[in-house]
Homo-oligomer: A and B are copies of this chain.
Amino acid sequence: MKKQHLLAPGPTPIPSEALLAMARPILYHRSPAYEALFAHVREGLKSLFRTEHEVLMFTASGTGAMEAAVVNTLSPGDRALVVVGGKFGERWAELCQAYGVEVIPVEIEWGKALRPEQVTSALEQDPSIKAVFVTHSETSTGVLHDVRALAEVVKEKEALLIVDAITSLGVTEVETDAWGLDIVVAGSQKALMIPPGLAFCAVSKKTWAAVGRSKLPRFYFDFQATKKSQEKNQSPFTPAVSLVAALKEALDLIQAEGLEKVIARHKRLSRATLAGVEALGLEPFAERPSPAVTAVKAPEGIAPKEIVKAMRTKYGITIAGGQGKLKDTIFRIAHLGYADESDVILVLSTLERILSELGYPAKLGEGVRAAQEIFLKSEG
């Protein structure tokens, strides 16, 4: 008998309320019962995204909503500034290029954080730039970029600020309206605590004006058709009804805990994880760590995949290795969504054991002790 523990940065564990909602008989989407459900979800999404405007929902992975953000706002030959400091920043660039948008990359060393003045100077050099794309929480490096400061810079310009908040929404502050974010993209399988398959775009007034001018082709991901349909509590195409039923439960759980407390919980888990790995003599990888996921440099002589594999096969714990060029450098521990202190204690204690088994001089109990100290100092 081995209990399974999921601490990867998405899909994240699903609370039983949401799991059981999916096990109920399915609703017909063109029915009053579904429309009432979706009306409730629409309000919950607005509250979570901190916006008064409609949050558009797509049946897709998060990348689908990223594509929607590109194809609804830009035209072929447009120029876009893309913050590239990890795999998901690269995805924005690839998406833009696939649609004939010229990418001006703001290159950041993987693991480092954006300095907003890099964007200021790029925007000043080229006022024709139509949009700035950024990854709020760059899951591949564990870095949280300072989107609030970036928004201060961009809001004086014509360009739209388009934010991948897939692993930051519900994890740290994402103030869509107050900060002036033009599109905020999110996915269902992260802090929303439900399975992958739904993705979202919060859309500002400034963006809607750009949508009218945009000439890129689109159909499935069309913002206008989606908005028109949602205003009648519907979707243009059959939505992932079961996931919407689960989403209602997850939004209710977030509301019951309170968004501020949800964010505080993620920060506490992140601080404890960082303290724990540091107490074991390991080095966090991210200059500005995301509260969603802690990226850790594997110690000299130990391959990250050995740690990941031992976690999974010997201890039933799923964490993530490094992606792309970080494959042989880091491993990643998520504390995202339906996660609490017990997860952090478990993963740190297991890390201690695995490191010892692999011949690294980890003092058993030291990582856990450091995490406990954080928890004692900041009760949830």
Contact = CB atoms under 8 A, between A and B. Distances in A.
Interface of A: 4, 6, 8, 10-11, 13-14, 19-20, 22-31, 59-64, 67, 94-95, 98-100, 187, 189, 195-197, 216-222, 236-243, 312, 318, 320
14 contacts: A6-B25, A28-B318, A59-B196, A61-B239, A63-B237, A63-B238, A94-B219, A95-B219, A100-B217, A187-B238, A196-B239, A197-B243, A220-B221, A240-B243
Contacts of A30: 8, 320
B13 A26 contact: yes
Given A31-B312, A242-B195, A61 B26 contact: no
A25 B14 contact: yes
Contacts of A216: 217
Given A11-B241, A28-B318, A195-B240, 10 more contacts: A6-B28, A13-B26, A30-B320, A59-B60, A60-B64, A98-B217, A187-B238, A197-B242, A216-B217, A240-B240
Contact of A238 (B19, B61, B67, B217): B61
Given A6-B28, A98-B219, A99-B217, A196 B14 contact: no
Nearest to A31: B318
A332 B4 CA distance: 45
A103 to B, nearest CB: 13
A195 B243 contact: yes
A220 B196 CA distance: 15
Contacts of A239: 61, 196
A355 to B, nearest CB: 22
A22 B16 CA distance: 11
B197 A59 contact: yes
Given A60-B220, A217-B98, A218-B98, A241 B195 contact: yes
A369 B60 CA distance: 45
Interface centre among A25, A61, A195, A220 (most CB of B within 10 A): A220
A47 B195 CA distance: 27
Contact of A64 (B22, B195, B220): B220
Contacts of A25: 4, 6, 13-14, 19
A242 B11 CA distance: 10
Contacts of A22: 19, 22-23, 195, 242
A28 to B, nearest CB: 5
Given A59-B60, A220-B63, A239-B61, A19 B11 contact: no
A11 B240 CA distance: 9
Contacts of A20: 23
A82 B205 CA distance: 37
A295 to B, nearest CB: 16
Nearest to A64: B220
A25 B60 CA distance: 21
